[in-house]
Amino acid sequence: FPQQFNVTSYGATTVAIITLEVFVGLWINAFIVCVLCIAWVKKKTLNSNEKILLLLGCSRICLLCFAWVYQFISIIYPNFLHVQIIRQLLTSLATFFNYSNVWVSACLCGFYCIKIASFRNSFFTYLKVKVDRMVPWLLLASEILALATSIVFSDLMETVQSSNLTSTCQENFWEARITMHKHFFFSFFLTGFGYAASFLVVIFSAVFLLFSLWRHKRTMQTSSMKDLSMDAHIRAMKSVLSFLVMYSINFVCLIMTIIYATKKEDIMSLLISIYLCAFPGVHSLILIFSNPKLGKAMLKILSCVKCE
């Protein structure tokens, strides 16, 4: 998360905007989780797509909660962040749920690509057959990776903090400064690599789906029958392309949090915080209307509210 603001005038605006975004995002993701849990109870099982959406909704609910808590404490009670236990707990949990959100989102795009795209390749055919069995393991690997990254990142930040506090003498000032820069470089490299790797998964998924749609459309031009596979391609492309646009902006904002982590740019931090808190809600809303089951449930609720 961006560094806390030093200008009080931005504080109230930030808390108000982020509170509204978090409130809306929590309701949207809670709707996804509730619909999928009800379906899970009725059917006693979930398909692979629903498993990914369920974990994604839960991770985004936790991410939004910790984003709001961090911003609220950093502005209203900034001294609490100087307490090691509170600072370390918030840093670890925020990093964990942030990486969980990023990697599970990438898994969703990869799943759409493997499940819907059609290529005459033995390896791709193997993935298409085995993808349903691979999804639980991919989700488990994503959570383990997010947990490991959060632990390493939190430990590095605490090392930097302790090095900064112990460098009171002039003779060890430069040594502590060099050590701090090394830890910052490694932590920033680790964070940026995780964001870039997940971003590449999204890009390749969108490119493969687009290429598959183009090939499929070219082969079906002589047929006048309605093709269900074409509809599935187009529906998936709308979801993945919208996610690609949002994910690209989100990736830029995440990288900018690394760049501005050691700078005091209040306006830029405000804009980054606003978008990062809006992303989980807006993208989840797109997922709702791109999923037939979630879309029907949402329209049913909206029609009931309208009738009342």
CATH number, domain containing residue 275: 1.20.1070.10
Q: What mean pLDDT, rounded, does the chain reach?
A: 76
pTM above 0.85, yes or no: no
| CA–CA distance, 1 with 239 (Å, rounded to integer) | 27
Q: Is residue 204 part of a domain?
A: yes
pLDDT, tens digit, 9 for 90 and up, residues 59-110: 999 999 988 888 778 777 777 777 777 777 887 888 888 889 989 988 988 8
Q: Is residue 307 part of a domain?
A: no
Mean pLDDT of 257-285: 72
Q: Is residue 306 part of a domain?
A: no
pLDDT of residue 173: 40
Answer whether residue 148 shows pLDDT above 60.
yes
Higher-confidence residue: 148 or 236? Answer: 148
Helix spans in 167-265 (H) = 173-219, 228-259
Mean pLDDT of 138-165: 75
Question: How far does Cα 282 stand from its chain's mean position?
Answer: 12
Q: Is residue 152 part of a domain?
A: yes
Crossing angle between the packed helical segments 173-219 and 228-259, to the nearest 10 degrees: 170
Answer whether residue 180 shows pLDDT above 50.
no
The number of folded domains in the chain is 1
**How many CA atoms lie less than 13 Å away from 276 in the CB half-sphere?**
29
Q: Is residue 74 part of a domain?
A: yes
Q: Is residue 304 part of a domain?
A: no
pLDDT of residue 80: 74
Range of the domain at 132: 1-292
Amino acid, single-letter form, for residue 197: A
Higher-confidence residue: 57 or 117? Answer: 57
Of 77-81, 142-146, 194-198, 292-296, which one has max mean pLDDT?
142-146
Q: Is residue 248 part of a domain?
A: yes
CA quadruple 144, 147, 149, 151: dihedral, nearest 10: -140
For the chain, the straight-line distance linking the first and the last C-alpha, in angstroms and rounded, comes to 41
Q: Is residue 308 part of a domain?
A: no
Torsion angles phi and psi, residue 132, rounded to 5: -65, -35
| CA–CA distance, 33 with 66 (Å, rounded to integer) | 18
